[in-house]
Amino acid sequence: MQTIDLATTPLREMNAALQAQTAETNQTLWEIANPRGAHAVAVGLDAPISVTVRGSTGYYCAGMNAQAEITVEGNAGPGVAENMMSGMVVIEGDASQYAGATGRGGLLVIRGNAASRCGISMKGIDIVVFGNVGPMSAFMAQAGNLVVLGDAGEALGDSLYEARLFVRGSVKSLGADCVEKPMRPEHLELLAGLLARAGADARPGEFRRYGSARQLYNFKPDNAGAYG
């Protein structure tokens, strides 16, 4: 186990050490102590290493992650796992705004709640939230899956493209062009796999699926009021 204490090691030096790891590294287990809400913790990693952050983080933790498995033993500030490419990021507490924004791959697991715009403009990432998500989650989501075991706030899936949304609880309101869709066998199978990977104790049959009505792909004068 390699331990870096942010109480004594500069943030940039810590990130440089993690970013220097390659697929051939034998230093696969890392621990970051005393993050104390620091921004940009463990960003830009591109190696199959495991990083445990012993506390809460600020903005953009685990941004641009590729291959690494990053666990935050606390809460995460805005933009956690932003533009994530692959690997896995687990937040043991709550996540602030736009968690998983523009993510292209990998799995983001939030064991608490996520604030507004969770999964905004997601492009292939899978996000599993054990609690609730705030307003405008999956806004302009293009691809990937958002799974919510709790409730969703206002305007879920506003201006959605082809991402799939699964919600077990209630949805306060749907955004423009987002509609409920039937849960077919392939969706139940997909959801079962996502729940298993995230370690979530829930049954696929308890969820509803939401997706794009595909009415806003091309500009139509009759829909002018829905373009925001």
Q: What residue spans define the domains of the chain?
A: 2-216
Whether 219 has a pLDDT exceeding 70, the answer reads: no
Q: Does domain 2-216 have CATH number 2.160.20.60?
A: yes
Q: What is the tens place of the pLDDT at every residue in 184-208?
A: 999 999 999 999 999 999 999 999 9
Whether 14 has a pLDDT exceeding 90, the answer reads: yes
Rounded Cα distance between 133 and 24, Å, is 38
Quote the distance between the C-alpha of residue 167 and its chain's center: 15
Give the pLDDT band of residue 225 (cuts 50, 70, 90). low
Q: What is the pLDDT of residue 215?
A: 84
Q: 165 forms bridges with which residues in the sheet? A: 146, 210
Q: 30 forms bridges with which residues in the sheet? A: 2, 51
Rounded Cα distance between 6 and 15, Å, is 11
Residue type, 53: V
Q: What is the tens place of the pLDDT at every residue in 79-99?
A: 999 999 999 999 999 999 999
State which H helix or E strand residue 186 sits in: helix 185-198
Q: What is the mean pLDDT of the chain?
A: 95
